[in-house]
Amino acid sequence: MLQTHGRGRVSEKEESQRTPLSVDAAMSLATSFAGRIRRSENVSLANSIGRRISTTITAELDLPRFDSAAMDGYALSGGRNVYPLRGGNGIRPGEVPAELSMGQAARISTGSRMPKGADRVVLQEYAVRSDEFVSLTKGEVEVGANIRLRGEDVRRGDTLLTEGETLDERKMALLAAQGFASIGVLCAPRVAVISSGSELRRPGDRLGPANVFDCNGPMLMALAARAGADVTDGGCYPDDLDTLSQAVSTLSENHDLIVLSGGASCGEPDLTALALRKAGAVVEELKIAMKPGKPALVGSVGETAVLGLPGNPVAAYVSWFTLGRSMIAAMCGSREDILKGCDLEAINELQRKPGCSQFVPARRISRVQGEALEFLGRGGSASLLPLSRADGFAYIEAGRGNVLPTERVNFVPFEPRQTGFAQVWGKRRVSPG
């Protein structure tokens, strides 16, 4: 690991001699700068989907709260074949029924409270009502049949959810059954996104002859929001050391992570590392055995983590996909196996040299014989069209050479098939800078 704390830019000789980090090692280093978020807030249960529980929650009620009928039928007291039927319209949900005497039966609906004295329920299809009696058609019913007992699902004091668990609709239902109208959740990470480069203009601005529109800013803000962050547009700045440094200093006062794109490589005009250090940051300049996305910066300004990504959009996307998501997960107290995908058969060839891991835009193809994978585009860290048409990345490990048709490849989807990277926090606020 190259330690560059407080140093200037490494020399070209030092750069050439550095051993590139593996993707796993780079993600591990990035997460070391991501502090666990402890802030919490109360939100309504209806707005808690995807949020992480801030404290362990125990049951306040038995579930079910009382013995209840599991089926429509007749509540019975005692074992026999014929029962005198208690009068009335039967027992309905929400009613507190009168006690049954030994040998009596009463009509009961699913979910209704069992009357005192009743110890079993016969399904209505196994009983025949005649005048004021109920006869069983399949003999006696055993004690406890078709009854949901009080507390058989949850006992008061049981642990329902532990700190850090993500709320989904099933866990929300469990809390609703316990009567929770609101819940304490961890605050979302506060992320600011900065684009840098004198050639950049915001979409909607006028382009000069040598200008291009900033696509990284909108892309990274959307990715951070999808990962569960409250996102701030940190601005788009020219290659000016003082301006960029001041932006970082200001944003570090009230954000958990600052993401910068552009200026993360070791080229002479790149100012990101210098600007971060001028703002008081501890910075690691990374050389990752990864294509695209070889250069990156990780570090911190006080309690705020920083992540510097390449300027080319596909490289920035891959760097966020690995480093950024790892940092957000660490801030939320979880570990995600980001590179775990599924093996799919390639339908076209990918030519490559061993030596570094590669992320190739790819999409699933449905076939009669099963799903397969198609590599998209001809490579390149600035090719947006293949990225836009992809479902995810084919992740090719460093030691592998050319991939031929019918060979199997690890496919890592952008969006896991079940919620997600596993956390969906709902719609997140994106604030202007």
Q: Quick one: pLDDT at residue 380?
A: 62
Question: Which residue shows structure tokens 């069992």?
Answer: 114
Is 13's pLDDT higher than 50?
Answer: no
Q: Can you give the residue ranges of every domain in the chain?
A: 12-39+188-338+426-431, 51-62+153-186, 68-148, 342-413
Q: Which string of b and e fits 5-35 if b means at least 16 CB within 10 Å?
A: eeeebbeeeeeeeeebbbbeebbebbbebbb
> Rounded CA gap, 82 and 130, in Å?
10
Q: Quick one: pLDDT at residue 425?
A: 37
Query: Region 19-35: what's the mean pLDDT?
Result: 95
Encode pLDDT of 141-180 as tens digits. 999 999 999 999 999 999 999 988 889 999 999 999 999 9
Is 423's pLDDT higher than 80?
Answer: no
Query: Region 248-254: what's the mean pLDDT?
Result: 97
Q: Quick one: pLDDT at residue 8?
A: 42
Is 418's pLDDT higher than 80?
Answer: no
Q: Quick one: pLDDT at residue 379?
A: 63
pLDDT range class, residue 1, cuts 50, 70, 90: very low
How many percent of the chain have pLDDT more than 90? 81
For the chain, the average pLDDT equals 89
> Rounded CA gap, 2 and 18, in Å?
8
Q: Quick one: pLDDT at residue 338?
A: 87
- Find all residues with CB under 8 Å of 82, minimum gap 6, and list them: 133, 134, 135, 136
Count of Cβ atoms closer than 10 Å to residue 268 Cβ: 8
Is 430's pLDDT higher than 80?
Answer: no
> Rounded CA gap, 291 and 355, in Å?
10
Q: Quick one: pLDDT at residue 432?
A: 60
Encode pLDDT of 32-41 as tens digits. 999 999 899 9
Q: Quick one: pLDDT at residue 105?
A: 96
Nearest to 59 by CA among 148, 180, 182: 180
Is 374's pLDDT higher than 70?
Answer: yes
Residue 8: CA count within 13 A, CB half-sphere: 3
Can you give the pTM of this predicted structure?
Answer: 0.80
Is 352's pLDDT higher than 90?
Answer: yes
Query: Region 105-112: what's the mean pLDDT?
Result: 96
Is 252's pLDDT higher than 80?
Answer: yes
Encode pLDDT of 192-236 as tens digits. 999 999 999 999 999 999 999 999 999 999 999 999 899 999 999
Considering the domain 342-413, what is its CATH architecture?
Beta Barrel (2.40)
Residues forming beta bridges with residue 283, ordered by sequence position: 299
> Rounded CA gap, 54 and 219, in Å?
30
Query: Region 317-346: what's the mean pLDDT?
Result: 92
What is the token pair recorded at 320?
A: 């966020």
Nearest to 303 by CA among 232, 228, 252: 252
- Find all residues with CB under 8 Å of 190, minimum gap 6, and list them: 229, 230, 232, 254, 255, 256, 257
Least confident of 84-88, 156-160, 292-296: 84-88
The DSSP call for residue 322 is: I
Query: Region 380-386: what's the mean pLDDT?
Result: 80
Is 24's pLDDT higher than 70?
Answer: yes
The runs of H, that is alpha helices, within 370-427 are 384-389
Q: Quick one: pLDDT at residue 419?
A: 31
Considering the domain 12-39+188-338+426-431, what is its CATH architecture?
3-Layer(aba) Sandwich (3.40)
Residue 116: CA count within 13 A, CB half-sphere: 3
Superfamily of domain 51-62+153-186: Molybdopterin biosynthesis moea protein, domain 2 (3.90.105.10)
Is 121's pLDDT higher than 70?
Answer: yes
Q: Quick one: pLDDT at residue 335?
A: 77
- Find all residues with CB under 8 Å of 408, minimum gap 6, and list them: 343, 344, 345, 346
Q: Quick one: pLDDT at residue 378?
A: 74
> Rounded CA gap, 337 and 359, in Å?
16
- Return the sign of the alpha-carbon dihedral for residues 117, 119, 122, 123: positive
* Domain 68-148 sits in CATH 2.170.190.11: yes
Query: Region 61-68: what's the mean pLDDT?
Result: 97
